[in-house]
Structure 1
Amino acid sequence: MTEKRKFAVVINKNDNVATAVKDLSVGEEVYITIDGQEVKITLLSDIKFGHKFAIVDIKKGENVIKYGEVIGRATSDIKKGEHVHVHNIESLRGRGDWKVS
């Protein structure tokens, strides 16, 4: 039996992204645990150590949640397994043009 290695972490059951704990490659199958359940994600992008990838489809305008906290808003649709970074999310913190509710 092949060991399923966990190369990404999800801290909170409400998170919609995982954080890579090593460099990962497009097409790689990554196993994560969400609220006690093991989930397999096939990566659609290369993911560098410390970077995030979507664990569910995230629609444009939806909040991106990491560690149970909103860290930004999707600026485009993000597919499950896709890299999540400054190219497809915007910060909601420290912006004078947005009021965060």
Structure 2
Amino acid sequence: MSSSSTDPRLILLTPQDNCLIAAARLEAGTEVVIEGERITLAKTIDLGHKVARRALVRNEKVLRYGAVIGHVTEAVARGAHLHTHNLESDYLPTYTHDAGHAFVHH
């Protein structure tokens, strides 16, 4: 089904993405449509937070703007909130907070 059958409060940033972005705060119990399927939200989704576009299996990569932003740590149902409780970042830090202490100040 096309993304036009998805609730307008959920934004698909790029066609490759498997998450949607909440364009409004959506309270738990709110019914939304994701690609033609009616889903009742189990948790409140805050503005700007991610929602699973489809069911995801444990360790599956999550794509936003077509880029991997992390992986899910458990199986996730379509319409589930994607956040720190079930999404782990795959970003590697490029610096440490102690890096600034390597410089000697005179």
- Could you say which TM-score interval applies, normalised by the shorter chain? 0.7 to 0.9
Tell me the SS of whatever aligns to 2:69: strand
Figure out how many residues of one structure are paired with residues of the other and give that number: 88
Higher percent of residues as strand: 1
The corresponding residue for 2:11 is 9
Distance verdict in 2 for CA 1:74–1:95, change over 3 Å = farther
Match of 2:49 among 51, 65, 82: 51
The aligned residue for residue 82 of structure 2 is 84
> Who wins on radius of gyration, i.e. which is larger?
2
- Cα distance, 1:30 vs structure 2: 2.6
RMSD (CA atoms): 2.1
User: In the aligned structure 2, how far is the partner of 1:19 from the partner of 1:59?
Assistant: 19
TM-score by length of 1: 0.75
Cα 1:87/1:59, change in 2 over 3 Å: same
Match of 1:74 in 2: 72
Residue 60 and residue 95 in structure 1: after superposition, are their counterparts in 2 closer, same or farther (change >3 A)?
Answer: farther
Counterpart of 1:7, as a letter, is R
Which amino acid is 1:20 matched to? A
* Structure 1, unaligned runs of 5 or more: 33-37, 97-101
Question: What are the equivalent positions in structure 2 for 1:23-62 lying under 5 Å apart?
Answer: 23-31=25-33, 39-42=36-39, 43-62=41-60
Which residue pairs with 1:22 in the alignment? Answer: 24
Percentage identity across paired residues of the two chains: 34
Structure 1 residue 86, shift from structure 2 partner: 0.9
- Specify the alignment match of 1:99 in structure 2: none
Structure 2: tracts of 5 or more residues without a match: 1-5, 95-106
